[in-house]
Homo-oligomer: A and B are copies of this chain.
Amino acid sequence: MRYSLLAGGKRVRPMLCIAACELVGGDPLTAMPAACAVEMIHTMSLMHDDLPCMDNDDFRRGKPTNHIVYGEDVAVLAGDALLSFSFEHIATATEGVSSDRILRAIGELAKCIGSEGLVAGQVVDICSEGADVGLDHLEFIHLHKTAALLEGSVVLGAIMGGGSDEEIEKLRKFARSIGLLFQVVDDILDVTKSSEELGKTAGKDLVADKTTYPKLLGIEKSREFAEKLNKEAQEQLLEFDQLKAAPLIALANYIAYREN
């Protein structure tokens, strides 16, 4: 559990969670357990996705994947334990938030993981390898596989921070846009950068014959689409205090212009 959780990574989801909490006027400490929880979920999803029976990846965040080091059995179980611990941590370590709100956050987190979230995206993705897939289908995959947990991250932060339903909805839309943005950029990086630059195996999508934005739109149109998504995301933040929105704007730009 520690090996994969502490292997580095960009920590985009915890940052989103804490930034959303502060945006709605909350104390960032109230969102800290939720921020850790979303990173645990992200990590466990990578551990399971990397398994030989799924993406069969032996290199992640610049290090051998969990099952390479500890074996497949332990990698499955450590992922399960991280998944349950994420809920335990929110339920027992969150301070200064009403039980009603913590419970709502737990429901939101759970929903973004399972058959309406991450898992839905991964299953459809697996079933689509080698298939002739259109843009709508690709968007379904990314909205679930990638955007769902980013959405969960900002929603949990906003819930812990005491955000209104209206604020939470705006942040939901923001997260869905940057979720797609994140994946479009990932697809572009996969075909334009080396394994060394990425810290993970490059060109995997081509090898697996996966449908990607560059494959459907070409690199240039994919870059334009990324710009459009970044703009749409930032429009959701216009009615918030711009000083407090600055970290989320910076994160959107970081996702849009990241190099690995």
> Which residue numbers of A lie inside 8 Å of B, CB to CB?
1, 44-45, 48, 51, 53-54, 71-74, 76-85, 87-88, 91-92, 98-100, 102-104, 106-107, 109-111, 113-115, 117-119, 122-123, 126
Query: Are B80 and A106 in contact (CB-based, < 8 A)?
Result: no
Given contacts A98-B99, A106-B91, contact A113 B81 (CB under 8 A): yes
Closest chain B CB from A103 CB (angstroms): 5
Query: Are A73 and B126 in contact (CB-based, < 8 A)?
Result: yes
Q: Select which of B1, B87, B119 is within 8 A of A106 by beta carbon.
A: B87
A-B contact pairs, 30 of them (CB 8 A): A44-B80, A45-B80, A51-B76, A53-B73, A53-B76, A54-B73, A73-B126, A77-B122, A77-B123, A78-B119, A79-B80, A80-B83, A80-B118, A82-B114, A83-B83, A84-B109, A84-B110, A85-B114, A85-B115, A87-B109, A88-B107, A88-B110, A91-B107, A98-B99, A99-B99, A99-B102, A99-B103, A102-B103, A103-B106, A106-B106
- Complex CA gap A222/B44 in Å reads 39
- Complex CA gap A83/B119 in Å reads 11
Q: Select which of B1, B114, B117, B119 is within 8 A of A115 by beta carbon.
A: B1
**Chain A interface, >50% SS class:** helix
The copy count of this chain in the complex is: 2
Query: Are B114 and A81 in contact (CB-based, < 8 A)?
Result: yes
- Complex CA gap A110/B40 in Å reads 14
Top-6 shortest CB links A-B: A88-B110, A99-B99, A53-B72, A84-B113, A81-B114, A91-B107
Closest chain B CB from A131 CB (angstroms): 15
> Chain B: which residue is nearest A127 at the CB level?
B74
Chain B residues near A113: list those with CB within 8 A. 80-81, 84
- Complex CA gap A207/B106 in Å reads 42
- Known contacts A84-B119, A91-B106; 7 additional CB pairs below 8 A are A73-B126, A77-B122, A83-B84, A84-B113, A87-B87, A98-B99, A103-B103
Query: Are B54 and A114 in contact (CB-based, < 8 A)?
Result: no
Chain B residues near A99: list those with CB within 8 A. 98-100, 102-103
Closest chain B CB from A110 CB (angstroms): 3
- Complex CA gap A48/B111 in Å reads 21
Closest chain B CB from A125 CB (angstroms): 10
- Complex CA gap A87/B114 in Å reads 10
> Chain B: which residue is nearest A99 at the CB level?
B99
Chain B residues near A98: list those with CB within 8 A. 99
